[in-house]
Amino acid sequence: MSEGRELKLETSWKQRVGSYLERPEMRALSGFLRERKQQGRVIYPRGSRIFAALDTTPFDAVKVVILGQDPYHGPGQAHGLCFSVLPGVAVPPSLENIFREIERDLGLPRPDHGWLVPWARQGVLLLNAVLTVEQGQAGSHQGKGWEGFTDACIDALNREREKLVFLLWGSYAQAKGKLIDTRRHRVLKAPHPSPLSAHRGFLGCGHFSATNAWLAEAGMASIDWRLPPRSELPTDAQ
């Protein structure tokens, strides 16, 4: 996948999954993306942010994995981390419910933005199953090849790391996480935080306190789920 080389996949991830980008199905995906762009389709996130989740959370830094489905498909939303949006963009409903549960679970106030990079920099891998989408068309790039690549990322973590926490919200994430070895890792499941399902068990799941309890038991630093106020974010936040 020539685009993968241009995007300079983060070194520790490239060592594990870089070769996957050269597979025929990934070359076909690269061709599909080029063709759609030539047809005038708007694709999110922009090219330099497609692998942002891996760039922001190197392989050996991962402590927690949150699996999303595909990027937000509205203008200005997606920037390569699942559930996250750029500062100044309205917090989407699913992320609002995540903040509601953090507030209930940990007593932390809801932030005034949805930029989750501070979580990613602490070791929370915010990985979508599908890394691109077309404007206004949710799921438009599903089945085009990304799923195998992100499966390879999860498989590498499952095999080479120990005592990670996988947060699997909704049936899609739970199906994608079916190969995770629960003897080596902690897997927490709940309904998806979308307004359609959050009240079926996501709200009240306690996953954030449970994650930190597991990390402490494993001798790792807990995640600070607070986010700084928007006024304190770097001016070049992306």
Q: Which residues pair with 127 in a beta bridge?
A: 67
For residues 102 and 81, what is the distance between their CA atoms, to the nearest angstrom?
18
Cα 215 from chain centroid?
Answer: 19
Q: Which of 128, 130, 209, 123 is nearest to 161 (CA)?
A: 123
SS3 167: strand
Is 236 in the active site? no
Q: Which residues contact residue 82 at a Cβ distance below 8 angstroms, ignoring those fewer than 6 apart? A: 53, 66, 67, 68, 69, 71, 126, 127, 128
For residues 210 and 85, what is the distance between their CA atoms, to the nearest angstrom?
25
**Residue 77 in contact with residue 85, Cβ under 8 Å?**
yes
**Residue 87 in contact with residue 116, Cβ under 8 Å?**
no
Q: Which of 70, 112, 151, 181 is catalytic?
A: 70
**Residue 51 in contact with residue 125, Cβ under 8 Å?**
no
Question: Which residues carry out catalysis?
Answer: 70
